[in-house]
Amino acid sequence: MTGLFTPATMKSVTLANRIVVSPMCQYQAVNGCATAWHTVHLGTLAISGAGMVIIEATAIEPAGRITPGDLGLYDDATEAALKGALEALRAVNDTAVFIQLGHAGRKASSHLPWEGGEQLALDNGGWETFAPSAIAFKSGTRAPTALDEAGLKRIRDGFVAAAERAARLGIDGIELHGAHGYLLHEFLSPLSNQRSDQYGGSLENRMRFPLEIYDAVRAVFPADKPVGMRVSASDWMENGWDLEQTIALAQELEKRGCDFIDVSSGGLVPEQKITIGPGYQVPFAEGVKAAVSDMAVFSVGLITEAGQADAIIAQEKADFIALGRAILYDPRWPWHAAATLGQTIDAPPSYWRGLPAEHSRLFANSNAARGV
Per residue in 197-238, pLDDT (tens digit) is 999 999 999 999 999 999 999 999 999 999 999 999 999 999
What per-residue confidence (pLDDT) applies to 366? Answer: 80
- Residue 372's pLDDT is what? 63
Do residues 137 and 107 lie in contact, with contact meaning Cβ atoms separated by under 8 Å?
yes
Closest CA to 339 of 358, 353, 320, 352: 358
Residue 367: what pLDDT? 77
| Cβ count within 10 A of residue 153 | 11
Bridge partners of 154, per DSSP, are none
Secondary structure class of 82 (helix, strand, coil):
helix
What pLDDT, on the 0 to 100 scale, is given for residue 286? 98
pLDDT of residue 365: 81
Give residue 2's pLDDT.
82
Map out the domains of the chain as residue ranges: 8-341
- d(C-alpha 34, C-alpha 37), whole Å: 8
Kindly list the catalytic residues: 182
Q: With a cut of 50, which residues of the chain have pLDDT below it?
A: none
Strands 96-102 and 173-178: parallel
Q: Are 86 and 170 in contact (CB under 8 A)?
A: yes
* Contact call for residues 287 and 233 (beta carbons, < 8 A): yes
Task: Give dist(CA 284, CA 264) in Å, integer.
Answer: 8
CATH number of 8-341: 3.20.20.70
CB atoms within 10 A of CB 239: 9
Among 316, 242, 251, smallest CA distance to 284 is for 242
> What is the value of pTM for the model shown?
0.96
**Tell me, what's the pLDDT at 275?**
87
> What pLDDT was estimated at residue 1?
64
